[in-house]
Chain A
Amino acid sequence: MRLKYVLSEVMVGLWRNVTMTIAMIITMAVSLTMLGASGLIYVKVAEMKELYFENIEVSIFLETEVTEEQKTAIQAELDADPLIESVTYVNKEEAYEVFEEMFRDSPDLLSAIDPEVLPESYRLKLVNPQEYEAIGEQYAEIEGVDQVVDKSSVLDKIFKLFAAGQNIALVAAIAMAVAALLLVANTIQVAAYSKRREVAVMKLVGASNWFIQAPFVLEAVVAGLIGSLLGLGALAGLKVFLFDDALSALQGLFAPVSWGEVLLAFPLMAAVGGLISAITAWVTLRFYLRV
C-alpha cells in the first residue's frame, strides 16, 4: 500500500510540473551523454595506446654516404642486441617503393625525387616496445647513423587530441550537470511547495521522515534515470552516425566502438544521474521541509 502510494505520488509529481520535468530530463540527458562519451573516449584511448605502443617500430636511418664497413658494424651490433627481436634492412629501392606508395597522389613530388637520395634504413622490432627511447639514444651516436625515428611523437600528438576531446566532453558534462542540479533543486522546491499542506499534516500526525521525503526524492531519481536512458540513446546515435558512418574512413586509426562498450557506459550514466538527483533532492528537502 505504502509503496503504491509513494509511486503514485511520484507520477503525479512528475506530471504536475511537466515542463520543468522535461527541462530537467533533457539537461540531465545531455550531461550524461557527455559523461558517457568522455568515458568511452577514455576506454578507447587506453585500448589504442596499448595497441599502438605494443606494435611500435623503430627505424634507424643511415647517412647517405655511409660506408660498407660502418653498415656491417651496425648490422652486427643490432644482431647482437638482446633488446631487439628482429632487424629488417631497407635499401634505397625499397625505400623508394614505400615513398611511391605514400605519395602516389602527388606525381610531381615523385618525379622530383631520385631513389638515390633516399636513405637506407634498418627497421627494428623490439622485444619490449616500451623501450624504444633507450634504443633511440643508444644508436643515434653511432658512426654512419643519421637519425633514429620512432612513431611515438606522432602517436603522442594523436593521443593529446583525444585527451583534449575527452576534457571538452567532461567540462561540458560538468557544466550541464550543474544546470541539471539546479533544475532538480528548483523542481523539488516547487513540488514541496505545492504539497505543503499534505507535508504539514504528515509531520503533525507523525509520518516518518523517509515517508515524507521518498516521493520527492524518487521523483528526481526517476527523472534522472529517464535522462540517462535518453543519454544512452544519444550515445547509440553517436556510435551509428559518427563513428560507424562519418568517421568510418578512419577505421584503421580508431579502434571501433562496439555496442557492448556503449551499453557498458549506461550503468555509469544511470548511477551518476540517479545519485546526483537523489542527493540534490534530499539536500533541498532538508532545507525546505526541515524534516
Chain B
Amino acid sequence: MIQLEQVTKTYPKASRPSLDNVSVAIEKGEFVFFIGPSGSGKSTIIKMLLHEVAPSKGRIIVNGKDVTSMRSWKRPAFRRSIGCVFQDFRLLPNRTAYENVAFALEVIGKTKAVARRVVPEVLELVGLGGKEHRYPQELSGGEQQRVAVARAFVNRPLILLADEPTGNLDPDTSIEIMRLLDRINRTGTTVVMVTHDSNIVNQMRRRVIEIESGRIVRDQARGVYG
C-alpha cells in the first residue's frame, strides 16, 4: 500500500538530511506508528505521502502510484484517496460539525443529497451523534478531533494519515481518539500515525517504526515506545 524506497530528503540550507536513505513497506490494512523525537523526520514522511514535499532521492509509491513522478495537477485526485488528521484539527470555525464534514464532500463535487445521506452516518460513527449542529468552539478538543476524523474518513479513503492527532488532547481523550482510529483501521483502512505519545503506543501494541536523525533505528511488529 505504501512503499518508501531509499528515500532521502534534504531541505535547502539544512546541514544534514531530514530523512536519510529510508526504506519502509506498509501493507494494506496495517496500523503503523512512526515515533521519534522532534525533528527526527517523522512529519516529513507524512508530507511526502501527501505529495506536499518531494524526496531529494528515492521513490515513494502510494496505492500503486509513484508519487515521486506525479505531476502536481494530479495531486487533487490523489488526495481524495487519503484522509488526513492533524494535531490542530484544522476545522472551519464558522461551520458546524455537519457543515465541516459536508464541506469536504461538496468541494470534491459530491451533491448535497449525498452529503445529507453520508455525513450523519460518519458523525454517528465517530460518536458525535446529536452534536452535528454545534460549532467547533462549542465542542471539546476531543470532539473537535472526532469531527476532523469524520471529515478525513467520510470519503472512505484507503489510507488515513494522522500527524500527532492526540498532541493537543488529555490522556483519556487521547485513548478515545485512538479507539476511534482503531475502529477505522478495522474497516480495512491503512492507518499511519506520527506521534511521540509513549502511553498510546504502549497501549496499542501495533507496528512501531522509530526514526532518529532521519534514519530508521527500529521496526517492530507489536512494539512499544521503547
Contacts of B75 on A, CB cut-off 8 Å? 206
> Is the beta-carbon distance between A1 and B112 smaller than 8 angstroms?
yes
Whether B108 pairs with A205 at a CB distance below 8 angstroms is yes
Which residues of chain B come closer than 8 Å to A5, judged between CB atoms? 106
Interface string of A191-218 (1 = CB under 8 A from B): 0000001101111111111011000000
Residue B109 at the A interface, CB < 8 A?
Answer: yes
Q: In the complex, A192 Cα to B213 Cα: how many Å? A: 37
Q: Which residues of A contact B73 (CB under 8 A)?
A: 209
In this complex, how many residues of chain A approach chain B with their Cβ under 8 Å: the count is: 17
Tell whether, in the assembled complex, residue A204 and residue B79 are in contact, meaning their CB atoms are under 8 Å apart.
yes
Contacts of A206 in B (CB 8 A): 75-80, 108
- A205/B79 contact (C-beta < 8 A), A197-B90, A200-B90 known: yes
Contact between chains at B90 and A201 (CB < 8 Å): yes
> In the bound complex, how far is the Cα of B100 from the Cα of A198, in angstroms?
10
* Minimum CB–CB distance for B1 against chain A, Å: 18
Whether the pair B151, A197 counts as a contact (CB closer than 8 A) is no
Residues 159-212 (chain A) with a chain B CB within 8 angstroms: 197-198, 200-209, 211-212
0/1 interface trace, chain A 2-16, chain B, CB 8 Å (1 if under): 100100000000000
CB proximity of A16 to chain B, nearest CB, Å: 12
Interface size for B (C-beta < 8 A) is 22
Residues of B within 8 A of A212 (CB): 107
A197-B155 in contact given A207-B107, A208-B76 (Cβ < 8 Å): no
Measured CB to CB, the closest approach of chain A to B108, in angstroms, equals 6
Contact residues of B between 176 and 200, Cβ < 8 Å to A: none
Contacts of A211 in B (CB 8 A): 107, 109
Closest chain B CB from A291 CB (angstroms): 8
Q: How far is the CB of A221 from chain B (nearest CB, A)?
A: 21
Main secondary structure of the interface of A (DSSP, over half): helix
Q: B139: CB under 8 A from chain A?
A: no
B135 in the interface (beta carbon within 8 A): no
Roughly how many angstroms separate A198 CA and B106 CA in the complex, as a whole number? 12
With known contacts A205-B79, A206-B78, A211-B107, A198–B112 Cβ distance under 8 A = no
Residues in A whose Cβ lies below 8 Å from that of B108? 205-208
Q: Is the CB of A197 within 8 A of B80?
A: no
Q: How far is the CA of A212 from the CA of B73 in the complex (A)?
A: 13
* Complex: A200 Cα to B90 Cα, angstroms: 8
Q: Contact at A204–B76, with CB atoms within 8 Å? A: no
Q: Across the two chains, which residue of chain B brings its CB closest to A205?
A: B104
Chain A residues with Cβ below 8 Å from B109 are: 2, 208, 211
- Minimum CB–CB distance from A201 to chain B (whole Å) comes to 6
- Which B residues are CB-close (under 8 A) to A200? 90
Closest Cβ neighbor of B78 among chain A residues: A206
A2-B109, A209-B73 known; A201+B103 contact, CB < 8 A: yes
Q: How far is the CB of A15 from chain B (nearest CB, A)?
A: 15
Shortest CB distance B87–A (Å): 14
CB distance from B203 to the nearest CB of A (A): 28
The 3 A-B pairs at the shortest CB distance, nearest first, are namely A206-B79, A206-B80, A207-B107
A1-B112, A201-B107 given; 4 more Cβ-contact pairs under 8 Å? A2-B109, A197-B90, A204-B50, A211-B107
B-contacting residues of A (Cβ < 8 Å)? 1-2, 5, 197-198, 200-209, 211-212
